[in-house]
Amino acid sequence: MLPIVGIGAGLVSALLFAVVITGSPLAILLYSAAPLPIFIAALGWNHRAGLVATAAGAVAGAVALSLPAGFNFALIVALPAWWIAYLVLLARTDGTTTEWYPLGHLLVWIAATAALTTVGSALVMTTDYEAYRTVIARVVENLLNEMVRSRLIALAPDTKLSDLAQMLAPAVPVGIGASFVTTLVVNLWLAGKAVQLSGRLPRPWPFIPATTVPRRALPLMALALVTIAFGGFVGVAGAAMTGALLAVFMLSGLALIHDLTRGKSWRAPALIAVYVALVVMQALLTPVLTLAGMADSLFGLRKRGPKPPLPPTPNA
């Protein structure tokens, strides 16, 4: 049963990965869901099914598209999903109680995985940093052109888009690292819910609002910021790790709001307001949530004051 599940999951994941070549908005959405089958196989049938899915999808991509396509699938989609699922099911027991891998630590690993995936995908593109930066700058310039043409942004008449793109190019890995974190977290949550509903999830569903990023993630981010100054692909790794950790702290800040409002009569409208603001004022609220997550890691904000008991069947 395990090999069949793994092969099926790998083929579905590879198909979702491959449709991105069409370039349509729907294809991009499907591509974002490529880790989902790997997560489901690994969480529901143990991590070995995830490894089988990784191998099956990589072989399918290599045969149907090209050898680099199969390698890219394994590097960017399958192996990160397998590793994270492996950590989710990691536990230690003393015979009477079982301690599962903490979600906060898992988020740090997701950030590290996102950074490694960002650098790996860059190196797959080219091992020449200047060539990589040129490609990224060209992508940014095309995006800026499209935004100006659609009147989404307005620039000064004497602004040279090529120069602006060159300035923005080093920041692109920050966004890529953050987007990888978001994609992995969303797919992991969806897979976990699907496997839980099927009754195959070995781990009890955790109370997600209680998630706190460990304090050592703060010096790790400081190190990532310093690494950016080295330039080259080392700088890309630092930028990607910085973006990934910023996304992790933002998620922790969001969890903090869920946790601190627990038991309050105004919790529902407050949470609705936060999520609406995340959509319409993302550039303003995201830094606030990120700083809240950092403060929680540094000062332990959740430990202050009495807290209502956890719900009997947590599902948030």
> What is the pLDDT tens value at each position of the chain, 316 positions in all?
778 999 999 999 999 999 887 777 788 889 999 999 999 999 999 999 999 999 999 999 999 999 999 999 999 999 999 999 999 999 988 878 889 999 999 999 999 999 999 999 999 888 999 999 999 999 999 888 888 888 778 787 778 888 888 899 999 999 999 999 999 999 999 999 999 999 999 999 999 999 999 999 999 999 999 999 998 999 999 999 999 999 999 999 999 999 999 888 999 999 999 999 988 888 889 999 999 999 999 998 876 545 556 555 544 4
As a whole number of angstroms, the distance between CA 20 and CA 58 comes to 16
Contacts of 99 (CB under 8 A, 6+ apart): 91, 92, 93
DSSP states along 26-75 = HHHHHHHTTHHHHHHHHHHH-HHHHHHHHHHHHHHHHHHT-HHHHHHHII
Residue owning tokens 């052109």: 145
As a whole number of angstroms, the distance between CA 173 and CA 139 comes to 13
Cα 6 to the center of its chain, rounded Å:
23
Written as one letter, the residue type at 120 is: G
Contacts of 180 (CB under 8 A, 6+ apart): 80, 113, 114, 117, 118, 240, 244
What are the DSSP E strand ranges found in 176-251?
A: none
Q: Which two tokens stand for residue 185?
A: 């977290």
- In contact, 9 and 40? CB cutoff 8 Å: yes
Residue 14's nearest CA partner among 76, 106, 92 is: 76
- In contact, 259 and 209? CB cutoff 8 Å: yes
H/E segment holding residue 221 = helix 217-228
- In contact, 184 and 110? CB cutoff 8 Å: yes
Domain boundaries, the chain: 1-89
Q: Name the pTM for this structure.
A: 0.92
